Amino acid sequence: MFLIITLYNYIYLFFNKMAFLIVIIIIILIIVPWYSYKLGVLNADMNNLRGFYESNKQFNEESGLNSFIFYIGDFCDGSYNTYILLVDSDDKILVNTPSPMTLSRPWFAGELGCYEFKACFSNLDNNFIPNNVKLKFYTRSNKIIISGPDTIYGCLFKNPVLSEMDLIKNELMGDVAHAHKNNNITDIA
């Protein structure tokens, strides 16, 4: 009888360990692909952040602006190269400034296709937009909202034509730089 009980205990422990290992393996097989997928989506969305953004007519009228243009360049050395142009309704330039922008790690703002960041502009010296703001990026509509605690500083939509022209220019410049590096450029005199 003792032998049967001992054998039963060994079998029970063995299957419990096997069941535990099977559960762990199943969890790993589910979590790793899901996490990889989420990381891939995030990387694709962040690559789409680059481009020219413009305010629409309604925002301009409500804020007394003629135009608000915001350029987000490539991510380089921990920040994005940006350029902000604000023109009031009298065509007076309020802000005409390049500034590196760092973004906090993105977190989902509860809405599908929306990321929220804390954005910090290091060289933005003006009275219209503070250096530290909240930036919401809507991936589906390519919209950016720049806001503070009580103020919306910008509601901007991506200009696809200017953004694509910038991408093409950078690709061509990259091809030229690559050709120069490899001495494949012939001088035209």
Q: Is the pLDDT of residue 186 over 50?
A: no
What's the mean pLDDT when you consider all of the chain? 80
DSSP 49: T
Mean pLDDT of 155-167: 86
Residue 33's Cβ-count burial label (10 Å; 0-12, 13-18, 19+) is exposed
Q: Is the pLDDT of residue 2 over 70?
A: no
| Beta bridge partner(s), residue 101 | 80, 121
* CA–CA gap between residue 37 and residue 49 (Å, rounded): 19
pTM score of the predicted model: 0.69
Residue among 151, 157, 127, 154 nearest 54 (CA) = 157
Q: Is the pLDDT of residue 69 over 90?
A: yes
Q: Is the pLDDT of residue 149 over 60?
A: yes
For residue range 4-39, list pLDDT tens digits in order: 666 566 666 666 777 767 777 888 888 888 777 766
Contact 102, 120 (CB under 8 A): yes
Tokens of 170: 């950078």
* CA–CA gap between residue 45 and residue 121 (Å, rounded): 21
